Structure 1
Amino acid sequence: MIMTHYMELLAMNQPWNLILFMVIPVGMAEALVATEFFTLYWGESKNKYWRLWNKYIGMILGVYFLIVFLYLARIVVPSLTWRGWIDQVAVYAYMLGVVPLFSITLMEWGLLGSGRSEHKRLKIHAVLLIAFLVVSHIAMIFGMVNPTLGGWQEPLPAGYRQMDHSQMNHDRNRP
């Protein structure tokens, strides 16, 4: 089966790559979404506990994904032979997730948006989280698509050559 490098990365070294590149970051992002909802829902009375969890998850997730991004950018991506534009969309959309996630970390460290009201910071935080969910889902969707649907053709094995059938007369076998 022909697959994108995104899916190949998740399928290799089972189950570790799946855990490191999908389960941990997506699971933490889901936890971040949950704490974000509870922070908004409970208001000021119980907000501090959910906000504390939200803060720590945001800091850990951003640093974790930055490490994943650096690993992919320095080790994996330079060695790839692209399987067309679908393959590139899947890989780069996944890697683009570092922008919103690390921005959330910078917000939690007080290095981004520190001069804004708590309400405004919460809004930015939610928008960044939504941005991550969008790019990660784009990566997942394109990652599951067969790259040949985008026009890419699998190279022939060494020693094989493509036959030219354009000169063949296919009409002579018809009645």
Structure 2
Amino acid sequence: MPMTHYMALLAANQPWNLILFMAIPVILAETVAITELYLLFTRKFGGGVHRLNRLASIAGGVYFSGIFVYLLLTAVVPLTQQGGWLGPADVIAVGFYLAGVIPLGGLALLDLGLIARQHDDEARLRLHATLVAVFLVVAHIAMIFGMLDPTLLMASGHDMAGMQH
């Protein structure tokens, strides 16, 4: 069965690609999600859990920004220029994976104090929790479509060659 570029990336160069492109970002994002729940329930913003939450948010945003730039330049641009996309599922998987940079980057910017400085603590907490939720949604969409046969969503007799820009 053919696989999407998303799954091919994770399967290649074992275990390093899996660690670099999946494990590290997911561990950082799950750390943020778990600590976020604790903070939402306890409202204890001065302790170690809050510091861990901020550290994981900043590290995740910065790290994933590097992944975004790397994959944009080494995969997305060449695949698009060469008409190498394998079908809509392939584009959706890679696109949603890379879209994770928006919420993760937002978390980093928020915790670095570069955005929403004028907001009160409650508003920043709501924004932080929303960005965590958005990341979880886009990451899961990427995983679901990434596990599909990339040709599954293609109309019969059509290929992605027309997607070149």
TM-score (norm 1): 0.83
Structure-1 residue corresponding to 2:21: 21
| Separation in structure 2 between the aligned mates of residue 78 and residue 12 of structure 1, nearest angstrom | 19
| Separation in structure 2 between the aligned mates of residue 91 and residue 83 of structure 1, nearest angstrom | 11
- How many pairs are equivalent? 154
Percent identity for Structure 1 against Structure 2: 46
SS at match of 2:43: helix
Does the CA-based 8 Å contact 1:4-1:143 persist in structure 2?
yes
SS at match of 1:150: coil
SS at match of 1:147: coil
SS at match of 1:110: coil
Does the CA-based 8 Å contact 1:3-1:146 persist in structure 2?
yes
1:113 and 2:112 are equivalent in the alignment: no
State the Cα distance separating 1:64 from its structure 2 match: 0.2
Cα deviation code 1:53-112 (max 9, x no counterpart): 111111100000000000001112122200011100000000000001001111111111
State the Cα distance separating 1:152 from its structure 2 match: 6.6
Moved over 3 A (4+): none
Structure-2 residue corresponding to 1:57: 56
Structure-1 residue corresponding to 2:160: none
User: What letter corresponds to residue 142 of structure 2 in structure 1?
Assistant: A
Unpaired runs of 5+ residues, structure 1, are 155-175
| Separation in structure 1 between the aligned mates of residue 48 and residue 122 of structure 2, nearest angstrom | 17
The 5 A counterparts of 1:58-77 are 58-77=57-76
Structure-2 residue corresponding to 1:159: none
State the Cα distance separating 1:42 from its structure 2 match: 2.4
State the Cα distance separating 1:135 from its structure 2 match: 0.3
Unpaired runs of 5+ residues, structure 2, are 158-165
Q: 1:131 aligns with which of 125, 131, 134?
A: 134
| Separation in structure 1 between the aligned mates of residue 2 and residue 145 of structure 2, nearest angstrom | 13
User: What letter corresponds to residue 74 of structure 2 in structure 1?
Assistant: I
| Separation in structure 2 between the aligned mates of residue 26 and residue 65 of structure 1, nearest angstrom | 10
State the Cα distance separating 1:41 from its structure 2 match: 2.3
Q: Which has the larger radius of gyration?
A: 1
Where relative contact order (Cα < 8 A, 6+ residues apart) is larger, the structure is 2
Structure-2 residue corresponding to 1:32: 32
| Separation in structure 2 between the aligned mates of residue 101 and residue 128 of structure 1, nearest angstrom | 7
| Separation in structure 2 between the aligned mates of residue 58 and residue 87 of structure 1, nearest angstrom | 28
